[in-house]
Structure 1
Amino acid sequence: MILRLIQIVLGILLVYVAIIFGRDLIKHKHQSDGSIPVATGIGFVTNFLDALGIGSYAPTTLLLKATKYLKSDKLIPGTLTVACSIPVIVEAFLFTNTIKVEGPTLISMVVAAGVGSAIGSKVMTKFNEKIVRIVMGIALVATAVLMLLSQLGVLSALGAGNTAIGLHGINLVIAVVGNFILGALMTAGVGLYAPCMALVYMLGMSPAVAFPIMMTSAAVLMPIASYEFIKSGNYNRNASLGITIGGVIGVAIAVLFVKSLDLNVLTWLIIVVVTYTGLSMLYQGIKQRSESVQQANADESTESDPK
């Protein structure tokens, strides 16, 4: 029953995000903001990796920066959210075949993530480029740390011996509040998978329940957050279209044909590059903010001491 309900909700959200995204593409069909084939390649690679457990947000940010695809870093959060929405829903459909978690726990955590993303997306669309750079810089460094902990086996160690498939009382409240925060942070570029996994493990839940919770949370919150980014135009349309197309293909191939792949070396490489990119964006954002403050002070000094 829970599985059927989840599939219905995911189906509705898939149609919803396809409609609002499609309408916006048609409305701006004469505008060109990047190569769709390049974005398709990016989407294929990053969502292929996502289906194999690495995640898509950090690699997508890396490739968008490496190809200089976006004219402004302000567009990164919205592009990530809109572009990965449909591939993640498809991934959830293909992966979440069994639900090994109590219904109230799953539903409450998923709803919390969705509400958090709705609020987070409203906040992110109001930030200027320098603030987005600082936020994205922190998000990427945090992602690199979580990837490192996962690679070292720290996250999986948290779940060792856990058997619970549901939460109650104060633990459920903590889980709901935690997933609300993670839903909001995902709109800023912090991937939800690793921190959600850590949250579930620390609350004593079995590793078997982590996947349906984090996968369903991501699949639900991203279409919800996409509305605000599409409405405000704070995303790259061609990049989102290409990544969506490539992402669906990448997920399908990874899930249906590639059951496992040794990604150890690649994961370590991504951790290093994500850390560098995050620190670079953080430095650029802080430097840009400092220059703005200095300019504002200089302007104020000129106005107060006219000659």
Structure 2
Amino acid sequence: MSIILKVILGLMTGSFGFYYISDVLRNRKMFSGKPWSGLLVTGFITNFFDTLGIGSFAQQTAIFKFFKLVDDRLIPGTMNVGNTIPTVTQAFIFMTVVQVDPITLVSMSTAAPIGALLGAGIVSKMSRRRI
């Protein structure tokens, strides 16, 4: 079961990576002038702590807002897209090292992207003040 899930996850992440990179290259002129180093350091630190069981979204939101790295309206999408590849890497590591019941593994692997997709759609339609 784990092998099937890894293959599916790998294929989906590969297609995500292709569209992500092509979109970045196509729209790079629209990016803000903020340095990428702050975003990369934030992602590295928060995803490291996420691996230890401390969620990354609250930390990232606080850092984005404190250092004004990302406009408030773009924070949910930035986190969902920016954390995709690190989270999949974590998933591959944990599926290899930690034994998990297949039903739990499949249900969590299905719920996470559905929640991200639905959540981002809802939050993107909210007012800035409400976010």
Q: Please state which band the TM-score falls in when normalised by the shorter chain.
A: 0.7 to 0.9
2:123 paired with 1:124: yes
**How far apart, in 1, do the equivalents of 2:116 and 2:69 lie?**
25
Matched AA of 2:82: A
Query: Where does 1:1-307 land on structure 2 (aligned, <5 Å)?
Result: 2-33=1-32, 34-70=34-70, 72-97=71-96, 98-103=98-103, 105-132=104-131
**How far apart, in 2, do the equivalents of 1:53 and 1:108 lie?**
19
**How far apart, in 2, do the equivalents of 1:106 and 1:41 lie?**
30
**Cα distance, 1:43–1:111 mapped onto 2, change above 3 Å:** closer
Q: Provide, for residues 25-80 of structure 1, a one-character-per-residue CA deviation record: whole Å limited to 9, x for no partner.
A: 1111223312111211111211111122212111111211121112x311111111
Q: Provide, for residues 163-191 of structure 1, a one-character-per-residue CA deviation record: whole Å limited to 9, x for no partner.
A: xxxxxxxxxxxxxxxxxxxxxxxxxxxxx
**How far apart, in 2, do the equivalents of 1:37 and 1:59 lie?**
17
* Deviation for aligned residue 1:109: 4.4
**How far apart, in 2, do the equivalents of 1:44 and 1:111 lie?**
25
Gaps of 5+ in 2: none
* Aligned residue in 2 for 1:287: none
Query: What is the DSSP-based 3-state SS (H/G/I as helix, E as strand, rest coil) of the residue aligned with 1:68?
Result: coil
**Cα distance, 1:32–1:22 mapped onto 2, change above 3 Å:** same
Say what the alpha-carbon RMSD is for the aligned residues.
1.9
Larger radius of gyration: 1
Matched AA of 1:12: L
**How far apart, in 2, do the equivalents of 1:83 and 1:55 lie?**
14
* Deviation for aligned residue 1:82: 0.7
Asked if structure 2 preserves the Cα contact closer than 8 Å seen for 1:3 and 1:99, the reply is no
**Cα distance, 1:14–1:41 mapped onto 2, change above 3 Å:** same
Could you state the TM-score of these two structures normalised by the residue count of structure 1? 0.39
Runs of 4+ in structure 1 over 6 Å off: none
Could you state the TM-score of these two structures normalised by the residue count of structure 2? 0.85
Matched AA of 1:67: F
**How far apart, in 2, do the equivalents of 1:27 and 1:102 lie?**
39
Q: Percent identical across equivalent pairs?
A: 30
Matched AA of 1:42: T
Asked if structure 2 preserves the Cα contact closer than 8 Å seen for 1:47 and 1:56, the reply is yes
**How far apart, in 1, do the equivalents of 2:86 and 2:24 lie?**
18
Asked if structure 1 preserves the Cα contact closer than 8 Å seen for 2:72 and 2:128, the reply is yes
Q: Provide, for residues 116-141 of structure 1, a one-character-per-residue CA deviation record: whole Å limited to 9, x for no partner.
A: 33322222222221122xxxxxxxxx
Length, aligned pairs only: 129
